[in-house]
Amino acid sequence: MALRHFLSSLALAASLAVIQAQQTTKYTDEATGITFQQKSVANYSFGIALAENPTTDFVGQLSANTLTGWAGVSFTGSMLNALLLVAWPNNGEIVSSLRSATNYALPKIVDGPTLQTIASSTNETGFSYTFLCKNCITTDTTVKSLNASAETGIFGWAIATTTGPATPSSPSSSIEQHDTFGLYGVDLANAKSADFASWAALAGNTTTPSTPINGTLPTNGTTPYNGTVSTYNTTYDFIVVGGGEYNVSQGDSQRASGIVTAQRLTETGKSVLLLERGGPSFYSTGGSLTVPWNDTVTVYEVPGVFLQLSAYPGNKGYCSDTAGMAGCILGGGTTVNGMAFIKPPSFDFENWPAGWQWEDGISEAADRLYERNPGTIQPSSDGKYHDNAVYDVLSKFFAGAGWKSVSTSEEPDEKYQIYSYPAMNIADGRRSGPVNQYLPLAEAEDNFTLKLHTKVLRAIRTNSTVTGVETEDDTGARTIFNVNPNGKVILAAGSMSSPRILFNSGIGPADQIEVASKQTTSITLPPKEAWINSPVGLVRDHSIIGLKFNVTAGMNILPQTAFGDPSQTDIDLFAKAAGPLVGNPQMRLNTFTTVTTSSGKKMVVQTHCYSTVNNTIDIMFLLTHGTTSTGRLTMTTEGNTEFSKSPYLQTSDDKQAIAIAIDEVLAISRLANSTLSYAGPVNDTGAAIVARTTPNPGTHMTGTTIIGTDDGSKNGSAVVDTNCKVYGTDNLFVVDAGMHADLPSGNTHVIVMVAAEHAVKKIIALDGGEGASNGTVPAEPTASSSTVLAPAPTIGSGSGYDTGSSPVESVVSSVLAIVSPSAVVEASSSPAVQTPSPSAAPRKPGQQL
């Protein structure tokens, strides 16, 4: 489940109970004489004025106490598919733009509506911007705006006070993540005035252009390329690209496959370089963003902090250039996601090519992963389930309807009307994953090097042979890292970033390589005659629809402050790997069922069930394995990836399948003595809900660099072969969620690592199995005389980390993180990190920690 999707539900659930208390009030601006319905919160205010009979325009005033950040408003309360306004000060002027987003990523400039300045000002603490928003009231269902005919509305607000836009002078600049956000009610009836025409006449010139779309984004959100490229002296047998980018979700891990792959490659004795564009994460890796109550534990390591993680001050782990919300930090999804550890059933590989079926070695790959990283359905060491009211209510709800209690860890193939305690990637009371289960094993070897803050731009190739990669650090300096003769480059940059590297390398559909050749940031592509046609960009994802239910007998849960500001009792329990802080409060119960559509299509529907407010439960329906919808991932001339075609509920089969699953739960809620009652219309149906609801992204994208036997360089359908080698190349590979042949039945966290274990074994076998490096394993590399990068200090003695000379800071998400109420249908001292023992007894698939 997408993190932003959760925050949408969280904020809505928290706000609906008090929305009337959050209404706007009357305010007359002395400078302009305009009377607004205004809402003010700490550091932020927004007011709106309407005509007596609104048509297309309104007047607004946005004020914020920040000179270094930005402020924004959503005119529907939602981020997705909604009209968004963002503004910030720049040298005494106000820069503003109207945007919209179809995914939890950088919102793009929208065509049509425009902003005209009425008044603007800055002082020593912040700015104020009064404007006429022309053509901003619309019935367009693609970019939704306020409903001016309604008596009241819900707006969303967001503010970032510390870090400003990447290009402050550009209205379409990338923006970093908010510090705080929320919802409030708007009294639209009292915002209407007979004086509106005279107020609107105060407007001056339009300040928002219709172009450029998506803005001019300096690569990696930092200093632009200055024209100098240096070559690193040492070459490597394997270069693995990516140990961190992830598609943010309840349990998604797109690029943690890079750590798994790199560690297994070190076992061959050959030299391995792992390049990660983000910075350190866990305290053991040099991460410094610690919780206030323990200065040796980072926020990433405490499972209970997950709800606050996205907006946590100082969290700089998100990307600004991907089609969906993604992150750039060591460990990727396993560092920042919701830790859902849903083991793939054997049939998740039924549509994969020969050599990738469960009996073809996938089962053994799963064994290898679970031996090191087994996950658990019981994270607390005291054997208790803390804050367990949601499970108590829902287990009775589903059991009463004949659903079966199953451990998804022990019986992953059970996918029909079952419920389970959530399996989570938690060990010893802390977030687990490749950072502490694989990386320590790699860094203990002399043949392994990790470089952080190093973004790979392209693979350098001559015809079919890749000789190395070109990278960029946080200062904008570029460096080439080369592979040895017969060496290999393995992309594990994630399903939304590996395609960009391929486009920049002259591999993909011709139209996308053309876009890459015209980027605003200089990229050197191979000559046109060396371009490799490849079907890069097909994408699948889980579609999400959320429903809210009332608990008929009442239900109490821990307040959110118990996790954001824990008691000393809970802190002491955490030190013993116990208590509420060692679990994710978003994950209280999961269900799976399999439905069959009228055309005979079978699809798996998963739910995540949780609560953020007493007496209510949210159930998020995810359409998973079997979905028939596909979209397309492309890129812009600014170097960003985007979805030019949505992959969400595009077919009648998919719509019917999720509607059937919703109807099953609605039917249970309508049984006599049900523990739940639906919060929506009494006679609502799944079909009606699907018809009126814009699905949210699961952010579990797969297939963009899809595996198969049909050679894509010869007009086939596959990008990589069954060894994960890119068709048309000799030594370029992809090992991340992009090469997956199908959508899994659960979150992608586990299946990505299982597939990586299988893929790396195949790649090693291409060289005849494990063997010694050509020559001796190189020592820690030194720079050539032409190199601008000097050897950097390491983190700890012999750690193998090279952080470069730039600060431990990476690009953060450019998401305008305003909450999305449309996602929910409504009626109106710490233990040290443990390194696993390679000699530990192997665990079978499903065996618990």
- Structure tokens of 664? 């099953």
Comparing CA positions, the residue from 659, 656, 667, 545 lying closest to residue 600 is 656
State the angle between helix axes of 748-765 and 362-372 in degrees (0 to 180), rounded to the nearest 10.
Answer: 110
Given a cut of 80, whether residue 325 has pLDDT beyond it is no
Q: pLDDT tens across 724-768, in order?
A: 999 999 999 999 999 999 999 999 999 999 999 999 999 999 998
C-alpha–C-alpha distance, residues 335 and 317, integer Å: 9
Given a cut of 50, whether residue 787 has pLDDT beyond it is no
Domains in the chain (CATH in brackets) are 3-216 (2.60.40.1210)
Which helix (H) or strand (E) element contains residue 779? none
Confidence of residue 811 (pLDDT cuts 50, 70, 90): very low
pLDDT of residue 317: 76
Comparing CA positions, the residue from 347, 322, 344 lying closest to residue 332 is 322
C-alpha–C-alpha distance, residues 307 and 132, integer Å: 36
The three-class DSSP label of residue 534 is: coil
Sort residue 715 into left (φ over 0), alpha (ψ -120 to 50) or beta: left
Lowest pLDDT segment from 37-46, 293-302, 816-825: 816-825
Given a cut of 60, whether residue 229 has pLDDT beyond it is yes
Lowest pLDDT segment from 389-393, 394-398, 672-676, 813-817: 813-817
Q: pLDDT tens across 679-731, in order?
A: 999 999 999 999 999 899 998 999 999 999 999 999 999 999 999 999 999 99
Compute the residue count for the chain: 849
Is there a contact between 736 and 493 (Cβ–Cβ < 8 Å)?
Answer: yes
Q: What is the mean pLDDT of residues 574-598?
A: 97
Instruction: Please report, for residues 230, 232, 425, 716, the alpha-carbon distance to residue 480 in angstroms, rounded to integers and kept in the order given.
Output: 6, 6, 36, 32
Q: pLDDT tens across 192-216, in order?
A: 999 999 999 999 754 443 333 233 2
Residue 449 has phi, psi (to 5 degrees) of -135, 135
pLDDT of residue 773: 38
pLDDT of residue 455: 93
Q: What share of the chain is helix, strand, coil (3-state, %, to 5)?
A: 20, 30, 50
- How many CA atoms lie within 13 Å of 563's alpha carbon, on the beta-carbon side? 24
Given a cut of 60, whether residue 795 has pLDDT beyond it is no
pLDDT of residue 249: 44
Confidence of residue 475 (pLDDT cuts 50, 70, 90): confident
C-alpha–C-alpha distance, residues 482 and 474, integer Å: 20
C-alpha–C-alpha distance, residues 658 and 132, integer Å: 41
> What percentage of the chain exceeds 90 in pLDDT?
67
C-alpha–C-alpha distance, residues 165 and 145, integer Å: 24
Q: What is the mean pLDDT of residues 456-484?
A: 95
Dump the DSSP string for 159-199: EE-S---SSTT-TT---PPPSEEEEEEEE-GGGEETTHHHH
Question: Any bridge partners for residue 26, and if so which?
Answer: 37
Instruction: Please report, for residues 504, 631, 646, 647, 843, the alpha-carbon distance to residue 651 in angstroms, rounded to integers and kept in the order given.
Output: 32, 11, 11, 10, 40
Q: E strands within 702-766?
A: 732-734
Comparing CA positions, the residue from 264, 233, 812 lying closest to residue 490 is 264
pLDDT of residue 256: 65
Given a cut of 60, whether residue 430 has pLDDT beyond it is yes
The three-class DSSP label of residue 511 is: helix
Cite the DSSP H helix spans in 625-772: 652-669, 686-692, 748-765
> What percentage of the chain exceeds 70 in pLDDT?
83
pLDDT of residue 607: 98
Q: pLDDT tens across 409-418, in order?
A: 999 999 999 9
Confidence of residue 9 (pLDDT cuts 50, 70, 90): very low
C-alpha–C-alpha distance, residues 717 and 713, integer Å: 9
pLDDT of residue 22: 63
- Nearest 5°: the CA angle 797, 800, 803 is 100
Confidence of residue 53 (pLDDT cuts 50, 70, 90): very high
Lowest pLDDT segment from 70-84, 432-446, 526-540, 583-597: 70-84
Burial zone of 107 (CB within 10 Å; 0-12 exposed, 13-18 middle, 19+ buried): buried
Instruction: Please report, for residues 48, 56, 118, 817, the alpha-carbon distance to residue 96 in angstroms, rounded to integers and kept in the order given.
Output: 16, 19, 13, 17
Which residues, in sequence order, are CB contacts of 715 under 8 Å at separation 6+?
533
pLDDT of residue 826: 32
Q: pLDDT tens across 252-286, in order?
A: 444 468 999 999 999 999 999 999 998 999 999 99
Amino acid at 256: A
More confident residue, 545 or 315: 545
C-alpha–C-alpha distance, residues 278 and 280, integer Å: 7
State the angle between helix axes of 257-266 and 748-765 in degrees (0 to 180), rounded to the nearest 10.
Answer: 30
Tell whether omega for the bond before 212 is within 30 degrees of 0, i.e. cis: yes
Confidence of residue 121 (pLDDT cuts 50, 70, 90): very high
CB atoms inside a 10 Å sphere around CB 848: 14
pLDDT of residue 33: 95
Given a cut of 90, whether residue 342 has pLDDT beyond it is yes
pLDDT of residue 330: 86
Q: What is the mean pLDDT of residues 593-603?
A: 98
- Structure tokens of 684? 């609502």
Comparing CA positions, the residue from 183, 464, 457 lying closest to residue 321 is 457
pLDDT of residue 122: 93
